[in-house]
Chains A and B, each alone.
Chain A
């Protein structure tokens, strides 16, 4: 299968998480049949280079199965620069499930990547025992063409992973609906409209599965009324999920998106599980 992530990259660190991420990069390289780019951000010395190669080879990678590069300066900026230089399709990184309030607003390396990565990004939530394959995929739905391509990509990924569950999550909200209580004179009229819209969304999502021909895996659909991003996050926390697939923002997320929270910021603030942000132009 020709998977769209032809070039994948990882910034290596010497930490235990770094080792686990390296093993994961190796696994994904083989799964996607892609080229692997590894880079280290820091001063390049002979001693460091030797240790780095030892670390890489210890992960089981062959010397000719990856390309190694070095970068310097601010880690997030350097990683983004390397991703652009090598025209990566996918960048792999690790992240804490939740940052401190200050780090969230200032932005840790991982959060900066999530907001500004020039390509698709797979963020693994850091776990002490390394990473395992993704069994349950949760995928956001918004019915756009880019989203359709993203779902197809996620579905291919799930098939490659031999995943058990594929959950399509449709979030929607009708702005200003509660204020119609006044004009309708009762909450019942408003509730009726909400239920009708909920049913319509459920029907559309069911048809969507048919249209996308998602049939070789257990597919479920969930329609959630409420703030987009926040509802999906809660759902995955309560019902479990190994990876959440979402479209990456078209433009980099800025500070104002943290103040007046962008949908995706609800996810980034506290990751419900690993996160795959798919760059819209990489979905075709």
Chain B
């Protein structure tokens, strides 16, 4: 079977159209601060039988389905795409981080898998019709699949959410990322077992042999393979052209791993994912390499894969509101309660635990990949698949705003801490006088003796003066308080706080932070110093010399 010139032409035009739509809708999605994958899925829906295929069926068929050869070529391409997507997902998984994060990450990740799995399994096992089962004889496998589908968390969407919320490096951010990594790994292992239960192996391997080989593969690659890869990567990086050599190495290993797991009947993506984890763990692998491979795969192959999903299913004809709602309710209940409880039991406060729960609720691309595979294997029908896609997109879109509700209660950035009631104009003539004024101002708010605050701040001031630059003085202290607090004085009389630029201070910011959080104090100090490092900004801030105006400009 050869591709004719006409087939090749139509195939190439089809790919171009898919890439164009993916980019266009992806960009629109990005403009609205939504996951790019959402735009790409919508591009597929617009291009597929739901809209374009219905309006112009002849043209749609000509491009995408007229020739069996073209369909096979598309299938090959999208299979390659999803294998590479899982390979790069694996690259970002760092299993040692879970051990390092300790109890909270362990309880969150385990509950993040177990609870939604039990919720999904129970619902699908006892009410299979409600969840749109295809073949009642496959009730057990179907229930296992629904459990797995609910326990998945998509790392890329989670990471982007944390980046947007600027909590990547916070305790909550680290717990979410570490737990999402473990969730992914456990989720794919369970899914592989489900596939082996379906008996997809083409080489006569029974269920036991497939599961045995799966765990052997995981063990060998993650224990021995990881160490060997770590030894080989430095040699490849120094002896071959960079980054070509190492990217080539990653793809070769990824495809070989994929070939092995496909052979034993658990789908190629699992092999590439595990190989990705083993490679990504190497301390020698440069961050730049990861980013290049991410760019190359996620800008070319991921869009093709996600657009192709919309081409296969009519999303309007297969939209079933009951199934969609049931999946949404199960998804939210499973993840938010499961991860929330896990984080709470791991020692987090209630608000933080809920933020973790909503953060872990993003299903994104991983859910869609899981769904399409189940659909291809005939385990679920179009209606369930559409419900899964909608659930994946809805959970991803709502993750950040819902997290924000709980994160907003924690004011930890300099701008968040500025309080209009704690800004004064001072007539003080020396530093002790102004510090005393600000200490009294804070004392009422944090219920601490003004004298204690004053003495602690002065003690710190006497060691090294806190004049920063550009008329800013930043006296500070760490006290037995729960939350950080900032009070600001605009000075009518300039006071010398011995700043490095020898300019006397016009504005004094008193910063008080909890004794136990050293890093928070340093973070706030550096944030404030950075803001006041810009002379123009400071001049503008102090132009009116009015507390109200200073407040508005600072929180802007």
Contact B36 A174 (CB under 8 A): no
* CB–CB B168/A174 < 8 A: yes
User: Would you call A216 an interface residue if the criterion is a C-beta within 8 Å of the partner chain's C-beta atoms?
Assistant: no
| Distance to closest chain A CB from B222 (angstroms) | 8
Interface residues of A in 236-260 (CB under 8 A from B): 256-257, 259-260
A256: contacting residue among B99, B295, B523, B525, CB under 8 A:
B99
Q: Which of B99, B163, B463 contacts A260 (CB 8 A)?
A: B99
Q: In the docked arrangement, what's the CA distance between A238 and B35, Å?
A: 41
Q: Is the CB of B89 within 8 A of A179?
A: yes
Task: Please indicate which of the listed interface residues A181, A194, A257 has the most CB atoms of chain B within 10 Å of its own CB.
Answer: A181
Task: Write out the residue numbers on chain B whose beta carbons fall within 8 Å of the beta carbon of A187.
Answer: 291-292, 294-295
Q: How far is the CB of B99 from chain A (nearest CB, A)?
A: 6
B225 CB → nearest A CB, Å? 12
Which A-B residue pairs are the 7 nearest by beta carbons? A203-B526, A183-B160, A182-B298, A176-B159, A143-B519, A204-B522, A181-B294
**Interface assignment of B544: CB less than 8 Å from any CB of chain A:** no
Give the complex CA separation of A181 and B300 in angstroms.
13
The complex places the Cα of A137 from the Cα of B211 at a distance, in Å, of: 52
CA distance A79 to B91 in the complex (A): 42
Q: Is A77 an interface residue (CB 8 A)?
A: no
Q: Which residue of A186, A204, A226, A261 contacts B295 across the interface (Cβ within 8 Å)?
A: A186
Contacts of B97 in A (CB 8 A): 175
Q: A64 on the interface (CB 8 Å rule)?
A: no
Complex: A180 Cα to B294 Cα, angstroms: 9
Q: Tell me, yes or no, whether A185 is within 8 Å of chain B by CB.
A: yes
A204 touches B526 (CB 8 A): yes
Q: Do the beta carbons of B290 and A178 come within 8 Å of each other?
A: yes
B262: interface (CB < 8 Å): no
- Check B169–A179 contact: CB distance below 8 A: no
Chain B, 143-187, CB within 8 A of any chain A CB: 155-160, 162-163, 168-169, 174, 177-178, 180-181
Per-residue CB contact flags for chain B residues 287-302 toward chain A (1 = under 8 Å, else 0) read 1001110110011001
B498, CB-defined interface residue at 8 Å: no
Interface size on B (CB < 8 Å)?
Answer: 55
* Residues of B with C-beta under 8 A to A134: none
User: Interface stretch among A3-11, A24-32, A207-215?
Assistant: A207-215
A284–B463 CA distance with the chains assembled, in angstroms = 21
B91 engages A178 (CB within 8 Å) = yes
A190 within 8 A of B: yes
Instruction: Flag whether B27 is at the interface (Cβ < 8 A).
Output: yes
Q: Are B169 and A143 in contact (CB under 8 A)?
A: no
In chain A, positions 195-248 with a C-beta closer than 8 Å to chain B are 197, 199-200, 203-208, 210-211, 213, 225-227, 230
Is B321 located at the chain interface by the 8 A CB criterion? Answer: no
- Residues of B with C-beta under 8 A to A256: 99
Which residues on the A side are within 8 Å of B518 (C-beta)? 143-145, 148
Q: Across the interface, do A181 and B26 meet the contact criterion of CB distance under 8 Å?
A: no
B95 within 8 A of A: yes
Whether A172 is near chain B, meaning CB under 8 Å from some CB there, is yes
Residue of A nearest to B35 (CB): A183
B185 CB to closest chain A CB (Å) equals: 12
What residue in chain B is nearest A254 (Cβ atoms)? B99
The CA-CA distance from A201 to B27 in the complex, in Å, is 32
Select which of B89, B99, B159, B181 is within 8 A of A183 by beta carbon: B159
Would you call A262 an interface residue if the criterion is a C-beta within 8 Å of the partner chain's C-beta atoms?
Answer: yes
Binary flags per residue of B493-536, CB closer than 8 Å to A gives 1, else 0: 00000000000000000000000101101110111011000000
Give the nearest-CB partner of B27 in chain A. Answer: A185
Determine how close the nearest CB of chain A comes to the CB of B92; give it in whole angstroms.
4
Closest A residue, CB atoms, query B178 = A175
Query: In this complex, which of A183, A190, A227 has the most chain B Cβ atoms within 10 angstroms of its Cβ?
Result: A183
Q: Does B223 contact A (CB under 8 A)?
A: yes
A176 to B156, CA, bound (A): 7
Contacts A180-B156, A208-B522 given: A174-B294 contact, CB under 8 Å? Answer: no
A261 to chain B: which residues have CB within 8 Å? 96, 283
Contact between chains at A177 and B168 (CB < 8 Å): yes
Q: Please name all residues of chain A whose beta carbon is closer than 8 Å to the beta carbon of B287 when the two chains form the complex.
A: 177-178, 194, 225-226
* A222–chain B nearest beta-carbon distance, Å: 16
With A204-B526, A226-B287, A262-B99 as contacts: A182 and B36 at CB distance below 8 Å: yes
Most A-side CB within 10 Å, residue of B37, B155, B522, B523:
B522
Which residue of chain A lies nearest to B97 when distances are taken between CB atoms in the complex?
A175
**Which of A144, A172, A259 is packed against the most chain B CB atoms within 10 Å?**
A259
What are the residues of chain B within 8 A of A207 when measuring CB–CB?
A: 522, 525-526, 529
A184 in contact (CB, < 8 A): yes
Assess the A178–B99 pair: CB atoms within 8 A.
no
Which single residue of chain B is at the shortest CB-CB distance from A204? B522
Quote the shortest CB–CB distance from A141 to chain B (angstroms): 10
Identify the interface centre among A179, A261, A266: most chain B CB within 10 Å of its CB: A179
Is A263 interfacial (CB-CB < 8 Å)?
yes
- Given the interface pairs A260-B95, A260-B99, the reply to whether A179 lies near B155 with Cβ below 8 Å is yes
Q: How far is the CA of A187 from the CA of B163 in the complex (A)?
A: 14
The residues in B between 86 and 106 inclusive whose CB is less than 8 angstroms from any CB of A are 88-89, 91-92, 94-97, 99-100
Contacts of A172 in B (CB 8 A): 169
What's the minimum C-beta distance from B106 to chain A, rounded to whole angstroms?
13
- Closest chain A CB from B94 CB (angstroms): 6
B523, A200: Cβ atoms closer than 8 Å = yes
- Cβ of A53 within 8 Å of any chain B Cβ, yes or no, is no
Are A175 and B525 neighbours in the complex by a CB distance under 8 Å?
A: no
Bound form: Cα–Cα A129–B97 in Å: 40
A 141-166 to B, binary, CB cutoff 8 A, 1 in contact else 0: 00111001000000000000000000
Q: Is the CB of A204 within 8 A of B523?
A: yes
Name which residue of chain A comes closest to B98, CB basis: A260
Contact of B160 (CB < 8 Å), options: A143, A180, A203, A225: A180
Q: Are A197 and B464 in contact (CB under 8 A)?
A: no
B36 touches A263 (CB 8 A): no
A214 shortest CB reach to chain B, Å: 11
A57 beta carbon closer than 8 Å to chain B: no
CB < 8 Å neighbour of A182 from B168, B181, B294: B294
A244 to B35, CA, bound (A): 44
B298:A181 contact, CB within 8 angstroms: yes
Cβ of B68 within 8 Å of any chain A Cβ, yes or no, is no
- Give which listed residue, B26, B94, B177, contacts A185 with CB less than 8 A: B26
Does A193 count as interface, using CB distance less than 8 angstroms?
yes
Given the complex of chains A and B, what is the CA–CA distance between A190 and B298 in angstroms?
14
Q: Which of B26, B35, B163, B527 has the most CB of A within 10 A?
A: B163
The 9 listed contacts between A and B (C-beta, < 8 Å) are A176-B181, A179-B89, A181-B291, A183-B159, A184-B163, A191-B291, A207-B522, A227-B283, A266-B283
**Contacting residues, chain B, for A225 (C-beta < 8 A):** 287
> Which residues of A sit under 8 angstroms from B459, Cβ to Cβ?
none
Q: A200-B523, A203-B530, A207-B525 are in contact. Are A230 and B283 (CB under 8 A)?
A: yes
Q: Is residue B537 within 8 Å, beta carbon to beta carbon, of the partner chain?
A: no
Expressed in whole angstroms, the minimum distance between the Cβ of B300 and any Cβ of chain A is 12
